[in-house]
Amino acid sequence: MPINQNVFSSVAAWRRRAVSRVVHRGARWVREAAAVTAERPGPYRFRRIGTGTRLAFPQGTVFGDPWIELGEHCIIAQDVTMTAGMMPDLDLGPEPILTLGNGVVLGRGSHVIADVRLTIGDDCFFGPGVYVTTTNHSYDDPEVPVGKQWPRSDPVAIGPGGWIGTGAVILPGARLGRNVVVAAGAVVRGEVPDHAVVAGAPARIVRRWDPRQGWQPPLRTPAPVPIPEGVTPEQLVALEAWQAEEAGEAYETS
């Protein structure tokens, strides 16, 4: 008796779904096992890595880790580069070079390059692909290739509570105040005061907070719903992990 072709198609489809589930579950296990935390620092020797902080797998380039401090409940996404010093295996002295405060989020593919002191305040959120550096090439001598001239370095400080948009660049010497918003693709140097919004290349202030008049120019969108009182950073991290897991399971069963 001939076998219906649909039977073979159904079996093949079932096998593909089964293999897909196994692969995705294996990938999820690898991501979990290879993530870096205070309890599982992996190959790194960070000066400090706070409770609840997690570096997602795969990690980007990381060196100078004995001079890197990571606060509590930070989320470092995949492929984030964090370096202290111009190259690996340098002795950078007794003080930290790169410091992240508590609750910092670095988006996927961001770069934080600290040849000299670089600080990021509590609760700063970076979108994907942000580039922060304390060092830039110089081109003083027109006869020498730019890449062969000694670079210039200047400390960078990003105040607490800021939002740095996707693809923004923070240049050496930048000083960002509290709750600063940097638009996507902006190139920032110099001083930015508290509660300012900057955009463009070079970045300029496009909106500021006035204690008497509020945001000037006024916001065109309604205020966001605040996080309910009593919600802890641990609960927010757990919620994000649960949402990611739910999304993964939905993808596997689709």
- Give the pLDDT score at 252: 47
Q: 152-153 and 135-136 as β-strands: parallel, antiparallel, unpaired?
A: antiparallel
45-53 contacts at long range (C-beta below 8 A, 24 or more positions apart): 46/70, 47/96, 50/74, 50/102, 52/233, 52/234, 52/237
> 118-136 as b/e, with b when 16 or more CB fall inside 10 Å?
bbbbbbbbbbbbbbbbbbe
> In 137-221, which ranges are E strands?
152-153, 156-158, 163-164, 169-170, 175-176, 181-182, 187-188, 191-192, 196-199, 204-210, 214-216
Is the pLDDT at 182 greater than 80? The verdict is yes
CATH topology of domain 15-225: UDP N-Acetylglucosamine Acyltransferase; domain 1 (2.160.10)
pLDDT band at 254 (very low <50, low <70, confident <90, very high): very low
Is the pLDDT at 34 greater than 90? The verdict is no
Q: Looking at 24, 73, 111, 137, which residue is catalytic?
A: 137
- Give the pLDDT score at 174: 97
Distance, in Å, from the CA atom of 134 to the CA atom of 154, rounded to the nearest integer, reads 5
Mean pLDDT (the chain, rounded): 88
Q: Tens of pLDDT along 136-179?
A: 999 999 999 998 999 999 999 999 999 999 999 999 999 999 99
Is the pLDDT at 249 greater than 60? The verdict is no
How many residues can be counted in the chain? 254
E strand or H helix at 129, and its extent?
none
Instruction: Put residue 52 in one of left, alpha, beta given phi > 0 → left and psi -120 to 50 → alpha.
Output: left
Domain residues of the chain, as ranges?
A: 15-225
> Who wins on pLDDT, 190 or 11?
190
Section 92-110 average pLDDT: 95
- Give the pLDDT score at 27: 73
Specify whether 24 is catalytic. Answer: no
Is residue 123 within 8 Å of 160, Cβ to Cβ? yes
